[in-house]
Structure 1
Amino acid sequence: MNSFSLQEINAVLQGEIVGNASCKITAPEQLEMASETEISFIGNKKYEKFWEDSKACVAVVNQDIAIEPGENRAFIKVKNADLAMSQVLELFAPARPIFEFEIHPTAVIDKSATIGKGTKIGAGSYIGPNVSIGDNVTIYPNVTILDECSIGQHTIIWPGAVIRERCHVGANCILHPNCSIGADGFGFRPCPEKGLVKIPQIGNVIIGNNVEIGANSSVDRGKFSSTVLGDGCKIDNLVQIGHNCKLGKFCIMAGNSGLAGSVTLGDGVIIGGSASIKDHLTIGDRAIVGAGSGVAADVEAGKVVLGYPAVDARDALKQWAILKRLVKDSNK
């Protein structure tokens, strides 16, 4: 792994150095686990108390930090330590897995597929008829891309991902291992003769640019038209996005959360872990759904909801406080 001086790291961050650390910095690490040659981060004042016992030689901190670095240690003051952390981690990031062959001999590529310049395709991958793959795409082993799909330039697709027919992935996306794009939506109707009849899902999935989809997450195809993820959406592991959902730009969905069919998210919506959203609802721009919540009604733009069923977060906290007091009083 690379190592850097304090000054070399600050040349990237463009912060203010307070104190001095002469050692080469070998790695980033969290405060409690850092060694004498490692850099750490203090992105919130509540973590300042851990600095004295930390062995880290340098910390990237916010400008309003209230402590001093101490002898032979240094701070790099920046406007936003959390954002600066991403720059530091990028400096130390190891290289991605190596391709011995640009296109592995065991990859199966239909003759009608078009492959862009600089694209790499790993062992055991399948590229179907009339697929279009842009320049500098990285497809790791055992990826399946079925008929008439398109993949934008510089996208990275990790092993085991499946992109079903007629789906479209934008540029600079990252699809993590075993994610599923374009599986059938969950559509069945009772039938006296057959029990349950499957409703054909004839739409597709359209994913914008700079979208990241976590491992084992599923984005179902539309029943009629398209399931759509806007530019910049970030989807965690084990997330379910049902058929015909429409996500605006820069939405975040944390792990184990799920959208039933035909849910609409505005721009910048945040869905907490394990939250679930009922079908045909609209969550307005920049709304936040707290972790574990169950949303059964539309949510206005900018609103924060919490609980099961989800209500205004302030009301939920009041309800919980009242229940806590009732339980306490009943135990007297």
Structure 2
Amino acid sequence: MFSFTRTSFELTNKPFLKKSYTIEAINTFLQGELIGTTTNLIKGPEQLKAAQENHITFIGSSKYLKQWETSKASAAIINDNLTVETGDNRALIKVKNADLAMAKVLELFNPAPPVFDTQIHPTAVIHETATLGKDCKIGAHCYIGKDVQLGDGVVLYPNVCVFDETTIGNHTTVWSGTVIRERCIIGSHCIFHTNVSIGADGFGYRPSDDGRGLVKIPQIGHVIIGHYVEIGANSCVDRAKFSATIIGDGCKIDNLVQIAHNSVMGRFCIMAGHSGLAGSVTLGDGVIIGGSASIKDHTTIHSGATIGAGSGVVGDVEAGKTVLGYPAQDARDMLKQWVVMRKLAKQQS
């Protein structure tokens, strides 16, 4: 049985040890308010409970202040509306938003991506009609089909397939195992993580006339993905039956998410893991869908709405509204129902 030790952790995280900063340098980078100081060099960020003396941590809520007292971290990034003592040889950096500040610190310590020894690996198969922009990197065993167009700085890690007549915009990164089917249109600065499927057939079947089988409905559309879209590992975006399945600019999609044929997502939507859109769902701008939520076909969720985790949406949702439950309804009403049901259960027990 594997026994985890801190030594094994440190050995497998050597990239963090290659960078170190003084607390003053980090504060200059964040433009925060430095309270106290530490002589320890900061070699990486870490959560409060696991942090050691060369770590910086963050506190974004008052409920974590107690953990600072027992944490071994030398420094913490903290919301400026919170108050806590620094302690001996420890420092605080006060900022408006600790979560966003920590994101910047993570960038400081972010290890370099995998190295390409050659810009285009000799085992890659690239059709003679394909067009590659400047500084593209194509990994081992990639396939690029007929009339594909790659913009400048596109990175395809090993074992990526891009099929015929697909267009990918500048500086998009596609990780190993991803398959982008024919005629897809992909924007710039996108990130597709491992084993993403884009443009596979939508799920379309009807019972045959004789009732003895199922007839497959051809899916002749395609997929359009905007700029700055990120799609997590093992997620699927199906091609449309006709026209296009569309994902708007800036959408962020978690792992194991299903987006069915002819669905349309507005800008800056978020979908958490295991959630899914059935066919022809429309999302406005800024919609948030919690983990494991499912949305019925031909449903419209208007801009700014939030769907709670595990919810089942069977009808349209108004702009800015938060819904919860199965079937989903106004979150406040659903919470009241749960309170009543809990009281009834206690009375009967």
Q: Is 1:154 matched up with 2:171?
A: yes
Structure 1 counterpart of 2:109, one-letter code = F
Alpha-carbon offset, residue 279 of structure 1: 0.3
**Post-superposition CA distance 1:238-259 (Å, at most 9, x none):** 0000000110000000000000
Q: Is 1:275 matched up with 2:318?
A: no
Instruction: Tell me which of 171, 180, 183 is aligned to 2:188.
Output: 171
Structure 2 unaligned blocks of 5 or more: 1-17
Alpha-carbon offset, residue 71 of structure 1: 1.8
**Aligned match of 1:294:** 312
Give TM-score, length-normalised by structure 2: 0.94
Q: Is 1:182 matched up with 2:199?
A: yes
Alpha-carbon offset, residue 195 of structure 1: 1.4
Alpha-carbon offset, residue 192 of structure 1: 2.5
**Aligned match of 1:39:** 56
Supply the RMSD in Å over aligned alpha carbons: 0.7
Distance, in Å, in 1 between the alignment partners of 2:295 and 2:65 is 37
**Aligned match of 1:53:** 70
Distance, in Å, in 1 between the alignment partners of 2:64 and 2:166 is 47
1:1-332 residue pairs with structure 2 within 5 A? 1-193=18-210, 195-331=213-349
Structure 2 counterpart of 1:280, one-letter code = H
SS at match of 2:250: coil
Distance, in Å, in 2 between the alignment partners of 1:13 and 1:245 is 40
Distance, in Å, in 2 between the alignment partners of 1:89 and 1:232 is 21
The more displaced of 1-10 and 267-276 is 1-10
**Post-superposition CA distance 1:133-160 (Å, at most 9, x none):** 0111110000000000011111110000
**Post-superposition CA distance 1:105-138 (Å, at most 9, x none):** 0000000000011110000000000000011111
Structure 1 counterpart of 2:82, one-letter code = I
SS at match of 2:49: helix
Report the number of matched residues: 331
Structure 1 counterpart of 2:301, one-letter code = I
Distance, in Å, in 2 between the alignment partners of 1:30 and 1:85 is 11
Structure 2 counterpart of 1:200, one-letter code = P
SS at match of 2:141: coil
Distance, in Å, in 2 between the alignment partners of 1:114 and 1:3 is 42
Q: What is the identity percentage for the equivalent residue pairs of Structure 1 and Structure 2?
A: 64
The more displaced of 283-292 and 6-15 is 6-15
Structure 2 counterpart of 1:72, one-letter code = N
Distance, in Å, in 2 between the alignment partners of 1:147 and 1:212 is 22
**Post-superposition CA distance 1:215-239 (Å, at most 9, x none):** 0000001111000000000000000
Alpha-carbon offset, residue 306 of structure 1: 0.3
Alpha-carbon offset, residue 65 of structure 1: 1.0
**Post-superposition CA distance 1:88-110 (Å, at most 9, x none):** 00000000000011000000000
Structure 1 unaligned blocks of 5 or more: none
